[in-house]
Every structure is written in C-alpha cells, then in structure tokens.
Chains A and B, each alone.
Chain A
Amino acid sequence: MKAQVAALFAGLLFGLGLVVSQMINPDKIIGFLNVTGDWDPSLALVLVAAVTMSFLGLRLAARRTRPIVSDKFQIPSRRDLDGRLIIGAAIFGIGWGLAGYCPGPALAALTVGTWEPVVFLGAMFLGSLLCRFFESRFPQKAPKI
C-alpha cells in the first residue's frame, strides 16, 4: 500500500515536470531536434536539471541498504554494449523525431485535449507487442557482464 502511494506521488511529480517543462508539446521536441533550423535548446536544460537532481538522489540512495517502502533497490546492472541496445535506440530516435512524442510525455499529454497522444500510445503498444514477438522468435543470448 505504502509502495503504491509513493509510486503515485512520484508519478504526479513526473507528470507535473513534463507539463511545466512543456515536454508534452511535440513542437518543443521537434524544435530541439531541429538543430539546423530555428533551434530550441529547452530540452537540453530539462535534461541537465533532471539528471542533476537524479544524481543527487542516487547519492542519497547509496547511503541506504534498502529503499524506504520496498525490500531492495532494483537498478540495472548490465554494462555490455550489444546490438539490440544500439539498434533499439536508433529505431526509438527515428520514431521520436517523426512525431515529437516519447512514452512519458505522451501519457502526460493525454488530458491536453487532442487525439494525438491516444493514437500514438495505441501504436506504441503495438510496437512493443511486435518487439515481444521478435524477441520470442530470436531469444537473446545470455549477456556478457
């Protein structure tokens, strides 16, 4: 129960941050990626502020043996660079640049009042299912850590 309340609170802050920073506006994303045009560097500052704050949070977490309302920290441990990471990120970037949406902002933008996020999220779910099908056909070898 406490874990769910904490997650809800974290989600509220996350959604608020995405709207305040206007990252839910796809024109802001495309404006940032459009480096040869009328460049809008806002996204870079969002990233810098978010990474700095998260970095401080990680330092706080490093002092603890376990999280406050859960049993253990679950932080990714893989260090290998594999083809799936790079190809996946490349495909993700193409989709991101095409419409100016990624998963978080699309969810936070659901209440803006256009159909775009709804359509995008439906298609995103389909893409995720396609990837799951791909992964079941071509299982990944055990990663080298």
Chain B
Amino acid sequence: MENFTPYTALIGGALIGLAATVLLLMNGRIAGVSGILNGIFKSSRGDAAWRVWFLIGLIIGGGLYIMFFPPAFEPRTGFPLALLVIAGVLVGFGARLGSGCTSGHGVCGLARLSGRSLVATGVFLTTGMLTVFFVTRHVSGV
C-alpha cells in the first residue's frame, strides 16, 4: 500500500462533497457529471447554461491547481489507444443507460441514501474490479 495517499484523498473528497453541496443549495441540482453533460444536449435552452458553466469550472478548477502545483505523478504513457477508445465508449454508454456515474451515483446518490445508487455503485465497483483483475493489470503492469 505504498501508493496510499490518505490526507490528499480526504481533503480532495471533502472538496468534491463541498462542490456537490454548493450546487445543491444554490442551483438545486445533483452534481452528477455524466448527467450534467448529457443534459446539455437534451434539455431546453434555459437549462443548458448552468451545465456548461459547471463543466467549464471543472476543467479550469483542475487546470489552475495543476498550473500552480504540477501533478505529483508522471502522466501515463504508452497506454494502448484501442483500449482507451473502448473504455470511453463503454463509460459513455453505461453512464447514460445506468443514469449516472461515479459522481452521480457514487457521491450524490449514496449521500441521499438512494437504493438505486447503492446498487449501481456496488455493480460498477464489482465489474471495475473484475475488469482490472482479468484485463487491465495484464496490460498496464500494475
């Protein structure tokens, strides 16, 4: 467990929860990234603007921190492109079909004690672990 980073995990997690709280108290919305993203294309015009601004904030928030504190990790190189594309398609398809991703089900859903989100989180954690066991660890050498 030499890669375990408990303090930054707790501080970062608290910031994510704070972000979800701000969005809920101010805008009355759930901070589920895939839902916010998918909603841009199917919602009415008046409902798209806050979504776009949230996502811009998400990108800039990450970028500002990286600018001042370059990431403590070396960006991964040589990861198979085909695997990255397949992974992206599956995540996009699954998040939409399953009505949420790690933030919507995993963070906001569990906080609301939603049974649907608890089941979804349990399922994606399980298939994620199985995928790493059978495929990913043989590819990326973890």
A positions within 8 Å CB-CB of B? 3-28, 30-31, 33-43, 45-58, 60-61, 64, 66-76, 78-81, 84-104, 107-114, 116, 119-132, 134-135
Contacts and interface: CB of A to CB of B under 8 A. Distances in A.
Given A36-B133, A49-B10, A90-B123, 16 more contacts: A6-B27, A10-B19, A11-B60, A14-B61, A43-B9, A86-B98, A89-B98, A89-B105, A89-B121, A92-B94, A92-B101, A95-B86, A98-B136, A111-B67, A123-B88, A126-B92
B66 A94 contact: no
B44 interface: no
Contacts of A51: 17, 107, 110-111
Contacts, number: 501
Q: Which 3 residue pairs across A and B have the least CB separation, nearest first?
A: A11-B57, A21-B12, A88-B98
A111 B59 contact: yes
7 contacts: A16-B12, A16-B62, A34-B132, A76-B30, A96-B128, A124-B88, A132-B96
Interface of B: 1-6, 8-31, 33-34, 37-38, 49-51, 53-67, 71-73, 75-77, 79, 81, 83-99, 101-103, 105-112, 114-116, 119-121, 123-133, 135-137, 140, 142
Contacts of A56: 17, 21
A33 B128 contact: yes
B12 A25 contact: no
A101 B142 contact: no
A11 B91 contact: no
B138 to A, nearest CB: 11
A79 B113 CA distance: 11
